[in-house]
Chain A
Amino acid sequence: DAGVIQSPRHEVTEMGQEVTLRCKPISGHNSLFWYRQTMMRGLELLIYFNNNVPIDDSGMPEDRFSAKMPNASFSTLKIQPSEPRDSAVYFCASSPGPNEKLFFGSGTQLSVL
């Protein structure tokens, strides 16, 4: 298996623009997570899906952030409008089940100018 695949690897955008990050989890994994990593706050859980259903979105910073999982093999994280403070590395991770080993993608480095 190719592991968790994220795209794009790097995204540079201007403040106010819409940003969409994409994730393909490992086939057969029922749980999908979006994390954000910054120097100041470390790794933070943004949202957790189980069987394509959002279970916990309490980490989503504000309404500008939204996430979807239309099927078991694809998820998106959207930021609209983007702000400079959203600059971070965004990771997607999947696992076979809720409390099992997490497999992380390589992340998307987002820079909002």
Chain B
Amino acid sequence: QQQVKQSPQSLIVQKGGISIINCAYENTAFDYFPWYQQFPGKGPALLIAIRPDVSEKKEGRFTISFNKSAKQFSLHIMDSQPGDSATYFCAASPSYKYIFGTGTRLKVLA
């Protein structure tokens, strides 16, 4: 019940395309859903986050869609760029304890 399932494991997208990464959770106590971006040799950095009182949050080219009834949330990267190539982690948290997904390695082809 503490797991966050993330898919796909890897993703290749053409420059300008849309990248979509999905996550699912089971614990209804989770109330904070961040997405982290990690470049090789660096720590994860917060990209965008959402709380369950809204169904969508957009920041620039990045959008989180949240479906509370299905217990699913997804990250959409519009107009994907080669600089977006990184590993993306979803997470869910009821408090201080973040449960991270297993990560999606995104490669955007120039």
Contacts and interface: CB of A to CB of B under 8 A. Distances in A.
A34 interface: no
A105 B91 CA distance: 18
A43 B89 contact: yes
A106 B44 contact: no
B43 A56 contact: no
Interface stretch (B15-23, B60-68, B74-82, B93-101): B93-101
Contact of B43 (A42, A99, A105): A105
Nearest to B46: A101
| Binding site secondary structure of chain A | strand
A42 B95 CA distance: 20
Interface residues of B, number: 19
B99 to A, nearest CB: 9
A25 interface: no
A45 B103 contact: no
Contacts of A106: 41-43
Contact of A102 (B95, B98, B102): B98
Nearest to B32: A99
A56 B94 CA distance: 14
A102 B37 CA distance: 12
Interface of A: 4, 31, 33, 42-43, 45, 48, 50, 55-56, 91, 93, 98-99, 101-107
Given A98-B95, A101-B49, 17 more contacts: A33-B96, A42-B89, A42-B101, A45-B98, A48-B96, A91-B43, A91-B44, A93-B43, A99-B93, A99-B95, A101-B34, A102-B34, A102-B44, A102-B46, A102-B98, A106-B41, A107-B41
